[in-house]
Chain A
Amino acid sequence: MYNLVKQVVGKDNFTQDEFELWCYGRDAGSTFPRKPEAVVMIRSVEALSGVMKIAYRYGKPVIARGASSSMCGAPIPVENGTLLLDISTLKGIEMNEESMVVMAGAGMTWTQLNRFLEDRGWELGLEGPWSAPSATIGGTLAVNAICMGAAQYGSLGTQVVGLEVVLADGTLIRTGSGAHPANEMVIRDCNGADLTGLFLGSHGTLGIITKAAFKIYPLTTHFAYGSFAYDKLSDAIEAIYHLGRKGILYDTRLFTYPVPSEIGGNVGLVYMLKAHNKKIATEFSNNARRICLDWGGKEIDGFGQIYYEGRNHARVKTFGKAGPGWLEVAGFVPIRKYCQVAQPILDYFKENQKVIEDYNIKWSLGGLLETRSINIPMALFCNEKNRPSWDKMLEIWLDVAEVMFKEGVSPYWIGDLSKKIMWKLGPTYELYKNLKKQMDPKNILNPGML
């Protein structure tokens, strides 16, 4: 089978070298490495389709991978004998200014796409995850990562108008209006069922995303920021709830633990807003500020701007220094349910404080406003060099995921947590499995992941 694969991609784009497999066995998180059986550099969509046809014929498990900047094990093969397809080389941008849509290759990074648009006076609604400098479009869509700008634009899927996908048998399809050979990618909601949604967050288990079309908007030029300290978590949540209802913010973040020293207090909140002129920016900023103050916030001058202007560095640097090994679990609940979910997590860390200290593990709990819901990310950090700490961190990660799920959190970024979570969704999970059987009858697309 691999000889056939080499014929399609060229022998220089295929490897089974032990050292290479080791490099592909990890992501940015600290889950156990799992090596693929072979790696193929995919240089074109045609090559990808060709490889999938061969894999399908032989029933070979495959996993596609972009930048591998996730922290939950999503791009790591679950099954032994998996063929890993490195699709980070699938580049290309097609701009359709008239329809205000841009189509990008799965291997483009968010930073590359953002810069391309910015140079032409446009921008995306969501500017990508906080790993935007390295994360690829395809990988981000495959795990449905929450992005910068979620307070205004919502989850990633809201911005996608269509996808190009290679299916298990190598067939290349387009979703949305782009499915019509004579039409362009301009709208997602057509042709009956929303097939685009099937692939978003599916971790490559239903198809491999090769291109995505996004809505674009005229470039905003005015920004405002805020940062506030709160005594009580419930007050900060009320502030976020009311900020959400106003719909004026671009991005809002909550620091439940730890709170940046620049903010102080027991809970911290930062936000950013965008506008097309100074008047609107000032008006929105005054409204947001008033809400935060009304709910007992103490204004901290300047930190919001520092935080957001350094957004592409801040998180990586902070997490790196705390770790640099890290793991994250995150999901959504209604905004006002945040405290109900956060409390048992805080209790868990309080109960296990000694263990956590003994193993030199650090942790954080936060919140991100997503228009009508709030995202709760919990991250763990340790030095991977310390194996017992690493093992303990994995244990805590799974425990907290259980706590979150029990409290009603819907995880969006599942990866290695899937075995713990997915089956609990009952009939919905059964439907997913049936769809998977229909779309991938030989179960070759990232088997075992979801």
Chain B
Amino acid sequence: MLSRVSSEIYKCMKCGWCREEIQQICPAREVLGFESSFGRGRVALARGILEGEFYYNDKLIERMYTCLGCASCKVHCPLEVDTIEIFRAHREDAVEKGIPLPKSLEEINRVIEENKNPFGKSPELREKLAESFELPSQGEVFYFGGCYDSYRLPQDFKNTVYILRKIGINPAYLAGDEWCCGLPQIWNGSTDLARKLAKHNIEALKKAGAKQVITSCSGCFNAFGRFYRQVLGEFHFEVIHITEFLANKLKSGQLRLKDLDVKYPGNITYHDPCHLGRHMGVYEEPRILLQQMFPKSFREMSRNREKSWCCGGGAVVFPYLTQYSLEIAGRRIKEAVDTGVNMIITTCPTCINVLKIPARKHKIDVKNLLDLLVDAVV
């Protein structure tokens, strides 16, 4: 509902600082150009609907869904307007008014309702994962695997468990009781479904005795860290991203990492996932780990940390507007090429999924930080 963010909408002074700075600020604007494609214009769209100036139609819905939710406009706003909440509320408003979702997004909702994951896989597969890794279903330290690592990227799942065990932690896992974190619904406006998923996960973790929940997916981390708290209030366990967890262990000496400069020749860089960086403020921990592993070959892309460029896959844009998504991803890859690296490391399965497509053409590897940590952990 848009009225819930009306004070944020009217806080926007239309100064246009979210348009461009030294470089472009909004990936959507760089591709689409028009005013409605970036922060100020998108806030104006919400205001137009709120004031009854126009109503939803297919083109407006498409334009609304070109926002990647990267929060670059938000961090550049001198008045700290919560643009992200405005854009989410705008999508939510359309759904509440009965405007049909784009088909691909409607389908994701259906699949998640049915299977509790967006890939249409059987929830039993999570049970099998738990069995094969002999993960307990109760405990104080939990690993929230997320749908990507549980179904699509089992190697990342395996890596996380391996690294945690290497430092003496045998995490518990919800298995079939772990549902999708709801991030696709948080972003496609289906807030009721997102809330249902959130409530289930929180209750399941609480019931299983969780005191600390580690996520390896930046998206899940963002869902827990912001949305869950926003709609369900505080919960009684800590949620931490694997990079934060491991960086702390490195600092305390419980984790030791080998130098991988020789094993992986060439230069590497780090891509800040929006969900981990701008949304959750985690910038340094992945770098602490990387600098330990690649003391000589680590390079920063010109846009990094708060100014990082989105991979193009955020806010359910990739399944809906794939080509548009890939165009933005291509620009990020070009930046990596210009930085002179042959490997991009990140901590978000969506970023990896999207970036690796244009990266192939440039013979750049896109890897999860976990892949390298497995090699480096002593």
Contacts and interface: CB of A to CB of B under 8 A. Distances in A.
Contact of A320 (B16, B35, B54, B78): B78
Contact of A22 (B16, B44, B79): B44
Contact of A15 (B12, B34, B48, B78): B34
Interface in B1-51: 6, 10-17, 19-22, 33-36, 41, 44-45, 48
Given A20-B35, A23-B45, A316 B13 contact: yes
A330 to B, nearest CB: 17
Interface string A21-44: 011101110000000000101000
Interface stretch (A52-60, A108-116, A299-307, A413-421): A108-116
A355 B272 CA distance: 51
A73 to B, nearest CB: 12
A395 to B, nearest CB: 20
Given A320-B78, A320-B79, A23 B44 contact: yes
B132 to A, nearest CB: 50
A15 B60 CA distance: 12
Interface stretch (A249-257, A321-329, A427-435, A439-447): A321-329
B34 A39 contact: yes
Nearest to A318: B78
A385 B10 contact: yes
Nearest to A114: B22
A177 interface: no
A39 to B, nearest CB: 7
Nearest to B35: A23
A17 interface: yes
Nearest to A18: B54
Contact of B79 (A26, A324, A383): A324
Which of B12, B35, B63 is packed against the most chain A CB atoms within 10 Å?
B35
A320 B14 CA distance: 9
A384 B10 contact: yes
Contacts of B34: 15, 20, 23, 39, 41, 86
A323 B21 contact: no
B21 A324 contact: no
Contacts of A133: 17, 21
B53 interface: yes
Interface residues of B, number: 28
A325 B67 CA distance: 25
A295 interface: no
Contacts of A115: 22
Interface residues of A, number: 40
A316 B15 CA distance: 8
Interface centre among A22, A313, A384 (most CB of B within 10 A): A22
A323 B22 contact: no
B21 to A, nearest CB: 6
A357 to B, nearest CB: 20
Contacts of A385: 6, 10
Given A111-B21, A134-B19, A385-B6, A19 B63 contact: yes
A318 B22 CA distance: 23
Interface string A77-120: 00000000010110000000000000000000101100100000
A13 B54 contact: no
Contacts of A28: 13-16
Contact of A41 (B17, B33, B54, B78): B33
A19 B45 contact: yes
A323 B13 contact: yes
A67 interface: yes
Nearest to B9: A385
Contacts of B60: 17, 19
A321 B79 contact: yes
A67 B11 CA distance: 19
A317 interface: yes
B59 interface: yes
A214 to B, nearest CB: 18
Contacts of A13: 33
B69 to A, nearest CB: 19
A41 B35 CA distance: 10
Contacts of B63: 17, 19-20
Contacts of A140: none
A324 B17 contact: no
B45 A316 contact: no
B6 A26 contact: no
Interface in A304-350: 313, 316-317, 319-321, 323-326
A134 B48 contact: no
A68 B35 CA distance: 10
A68 B16 CA distance: 8
A131 interface: yes
Contacts of B53: 22
Contacts of B54: 18-19, 22
Given A89-B33, A383-B10, A384-B10, A320 B22 contact: no
Contacts of B33: 13, 41, 86, 89
Contacts of A323: 13
A69 interface: yes
Given A19-B45, A28-B16, A326-B13, 15 more contacts: A15-B34, A17-B63, A20-B35, A22-B44, A41-B34, A67-B16, A67-B19, A68-B14, A86-B34, A115-B22, A131-B16, A320-B11, A320-B15, A324-B12, A324-B13
12 contacts: A17-B60, A17-B63, A20-B36, A26-B14, A28-B15, A28-B16, A68-B14, A68-B16, A134-B20, A316-B17, A317-B78, A383-B10
A-B pairs, top 10 by smallest CB distance, nearest first, are A324-B13, A134-B16, A23-B35, A385-B10, A320-B79, A23-B41, A41-B33, A28-B14, A320-B13, A316-B78
Interface of B: 6, 10-17, 19-22, 33-36, 41, 44-45, 48, 53-54, 59-60, 63, 78-79
Interface of A: 13, 15, 17-20, 22-24, 26-28, 39, 41, 67-69, 86, 88-89, 109, 111-112, 115, 131, 133-134, 313, 316-317, 319-321, 323-326, 383-385
